């Protein structure tokens, strides 16, 4: 199977401090990859480099057979195929829930209003938020906001979904509803890269778990292999700290 995403020797530094020190990662269509690691390990930066919200310093990212780091590539077109879910939701505050889910369809894909709304309502139903279409996002709970953010990304019919710690800003009682939506999405065959601290989720849903530390991928493997028999001491130490 051809990978949908091929990352080779990706590097990035902020003000001379290296954050990614040569990352290699392939993601197959339909695969769910969870990236774990302590804060500052570079996992969020890796995710943000994948759709060029951060411009990488070096290396290559091939997505749908095209090189993202090539200045000639239409990055905006490719971004439309990569859904991104942020830790802090980032719902557009000047629009309703429905507006959040239709604006990009209309501006980027040039869809008519009615078609965009139909797709948006469909996506909102998938996350159980169709009843809130006309609401102001400010009036929603954190879990509801994040579900709308997922629907907003899904409305663009992406080939891959990137999740940047999607439950880290939520109150504990709201984590479950968001993870349930993500589980259903994974079961539907969506390709997903999930940066997360939810070890139980990674274990239950991931096809592959990647452990990052200090800007490198230390170890990757099936959840069973990585969580039960980590090969590297750094992985074992991280998991011990997590259980403690």
Partner 1 sequence: MTPSPLTRRPAARRLWFNLAAFAAVVGILYALNPDIGEAVGAVSIPDDFVGGSLFTLWKYAGLFLDGAVTTVVISMVGTVVGFAIALLLVFLRLQAPTRRDARAMAFLKIAASRFAKGYVSVFRGTPMIVQAAFFWYGLGLFGDAFVCGLFVVSVNTAAYIAEILRGGIASVDDGQREAARSLGMKPVQAFFAVVFPQAVKHSLPSIGNEFIINVKDTAVLSVIGIFELFNQTRRIAGIHYRQLEAYAIVAVIYLVLTTGLSKLLSIVETKFDLPRPELPSSN
Task: Give me the residues that bind partner 1 (CB under 8 A), please.
Answer: 51, 53, 55, 71, 76-84, 86, 88, 90-94, 103-104, 107-108, 149, 152-153, 156
Q: Which residues pair with 221 in a beta bridge?
A: 209
In the complex, least distance from residue 224 CB atom to partner 1, rounded to whole angstroms: 33
Query: For residue 136, which phi and psi values (nearest 5 degrees)?
Result: -85, 130
In sequence order, which residues have a C-beta less than 8 Å from that of residue 57 and are 6 or more positions away? 11, 12, 13
In the complex, least distance from residue 155 CB atom to partner 1, rounded to whole angstroms: 9
Name which of 7 and 217 has its Cβ closer to partner 1. 7
In the complex, least distance from residue 196 CB atom to partner 1, rounded to whole angstroms: 18
Name which of 61 and 216 has its Cβ closer to partner 1. 61
In the complex, least distance from residue 5 CB atom to partner 1, rounded to whole angstroms: 15
Q: What are the strands, taking DSSP E only, across 28-175? A: 32-36, 58-63, 66-67, 82-85, 160-164
- State the DSSP string of 87-107: TT----TTS-HHHHHHHHHHH
Name which of 88 and 125 has its Cβ closer to partner 1. 88
Task: Decide if 171 contacts 150 (C-beta within 8 A).
Answer: no
Name which of 14 and 242 has its Cβ closer to partner 1. 14
């Amino acid at each position: 199977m051809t990978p949908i995403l091929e990352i080779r020797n990706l590097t990035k530094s902020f003000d001379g401090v290296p954050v990614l020190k040569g990352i290699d990662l392939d993601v197959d269509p339909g695969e769910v990859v969870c990236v774990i690691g302590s804060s500052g390990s570079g996992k969020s930066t890796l995710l943000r480099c994948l759709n060029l919200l951060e411009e990488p310093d070096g290396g290559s990212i091939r997505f749908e057979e095209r090189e993202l780091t090539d200045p000639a590539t239409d990055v905006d077109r490719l971004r439309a195929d990569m859904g991104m879910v942020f830790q802090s939701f980032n719902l557009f505050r000047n629009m309703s829930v429905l507006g959040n889910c239709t604006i990009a369809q209309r501006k980027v894909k040039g869809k008519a209003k009615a078609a965009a709304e139909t797709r948006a309502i469909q996506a909102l139903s998938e996350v159980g938020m169709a009843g809130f279409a006309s609401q102001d996002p400010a009036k929603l709970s954190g879990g509801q906001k994040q579900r709308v953010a997922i629907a907003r990304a899904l409305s663009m019919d992406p080939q891959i979904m990137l999740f940047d710690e999607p439950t880290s800003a939520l109150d504990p009682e709201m984590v479950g509803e968001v993870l349930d939506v993500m589980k259903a999405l994974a079961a539907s065959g969506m390709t997903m890269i999930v940066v997360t601290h939810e070890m139980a989720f990674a274990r239950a849903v991931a096809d592959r778990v990647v452990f990052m530390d200090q800007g490198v991928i230390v170890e990757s493997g099936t959840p069973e292999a990585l969580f039960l028999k980590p090969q590297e001491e750094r992985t074992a130490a991280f998991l011990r700290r997590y259980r403690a």
